[in-house]
A = this chain, B = another copy of it.
Amino acid sequence: MPPPTHREPPVMTNPGADRVKSVRALSRRSVRDKTGRFLVEGPQSVREVVAHRPELVVDLYLTAESRARHADIVAAAEAADLYLHEVTDEVLAAMCDTLAPQGLAAVCRVVTATLDDVLAGQPRLLVLLTNVRDPGNAGTVIRGADAAGAAAVLVSDASVDVHAPKVVRSTAGSLFHLPLVTGLPVEETLVRLREAGIRVLAADGAGTTLLPDVDLSGPHVWVMGNEAWGLEESVRDQCDEVVRVPIYGKAESLNLAMAATVCLYASAAAHNR
C-alpha cells in the first residue's frame, strides 16, 4: 500500500459519527456550560472569529466548495495554525443549528472578560442587558453596541446565553469585536459602575426623560430590560435617569433592539461630536 501523499485528515463523511453529534450538542446550553465551547456558523461569523479571535477556535469545519469559495478565511485560518477539517454538506448540516450553515462552522472556546478588565479600560460607553430573553434581540444589541463603538457589553445572570447559536448569528461577528462580561448580578454591577464614575441610564418606554434631553457627553452605561415587561422597579430605582426614546407617530413603542440602537447612536454622536 503506498504511503499517503499528504498530511490532510480524510474528509468526514458520516453524519452519524460521534464527533458530529458532539458538535451538534453545542446547541444545548447545558453542553456549552459543561464543555466551555460553542459553535460559530457561516462564513460571516467564522471570518470574524478567525480574524479577530483566532485563539478561540478549537476546530474549523468546511466543505470542499467552501474551501474554494472562501480562500480568504482558509488563508487566515492556516496563518493562525488552526485545524481545518473537510466535511460533506450532510456532515455540516448535522453539526449545525441553522438549516443552511453555508459551508463553514467553527467550534470555539467560550472566553469572557471580567467587569474589572472592562473598568480598567476606563470605558466611556457600555450596555448592560438585564433579563433580555430573545436571542435575536440580544445579538442585534451586541451588533449595535459594536457599531456605536461601545467598550463592552455586560450581560446579567438572568439574560439569554450569548453563546447560543441564534445570538451568535444575530451578532454578525460583533461577538468577536468587543469584550463580553456575562452572568453579572444586576444590582451589584450597577453599584460598581456608579463607583467607577459611570452614569447609569435606563432605556425604558416608561421613562420620564426624553432621549434628546439627556447629556450624553460623559461615560455612561445603557441598561436594557426585558422585551415584554421592561426594567424591574428595583433596577430602575438604581439608575441616574430613566430615558425614553420619543415616539413621534402612533407606534406604541420601538422593539428592544431598535431602542437600544437609537440610544447607542445618540451616545456615539455625543462622544464623537
Contact = CB atoms under 8 A, between A and B. Distances in A.
A265 B257 CA distance: 14
A219 to B, nearest CB: 15
A113 interface: no
17 contacts: A140-B255, A145-B249, A146-B249, A147-B245, A147-B247, A147-B253, A148-B249, A172-B251, A172-B253, A173-B251, A174-B250, A178-B249, A212-B269, A246-B268, A248-B272, A258-B258, A261-B261
A144 B52 CA distance: 33
Nearest to A144: B258
Q: Report the copy number of this chain in the oligomer.
A: 2
A251 B140 contact: no
Contacts of A173: 251-252
Given A147-B248, A212-B272, A248-B271, 4 more contacts: A143-B254, A143-B255, A148-B248, A173-B251
A254 B249 contact: no
A251 B147 contact: yes
Nearest to A257: B258
Contact of A150 (B145, B249, B261, B265): B249
A41 to B, nearest CB: 17
A84 interface: no
Contacts of A248: 147-149, 268, 271-272
A177 B143 contact: no
A193 interface: no
Given A143-B255, A257-B258, A258-B257, A250 B52 contact: yes
A172 B269 CA distance: 29
Contacts of A253: 147, 172
A94 interface: no
A43 to B, nearest CB: 12
Contacts of A245: 147, 265
Contacts of A31: none
Interface in A115-172: 140, 143-150, 172
A20 interface: no
A160 to B, nearest CB: 18
Interface in A223-273: 245-255, 257-258, 261-262, 265, 268-269, 271-272
Contacts of A272: 212, 246, 248
A39 B177 CA distance: 41
A261 B148 CA distance: 14
A178 B262 CA distance: 21
Which of A148, A247, A249 lies at the interface centre, i.e. has the most chain B CB atoms within 10 A of its CB?
A: A249
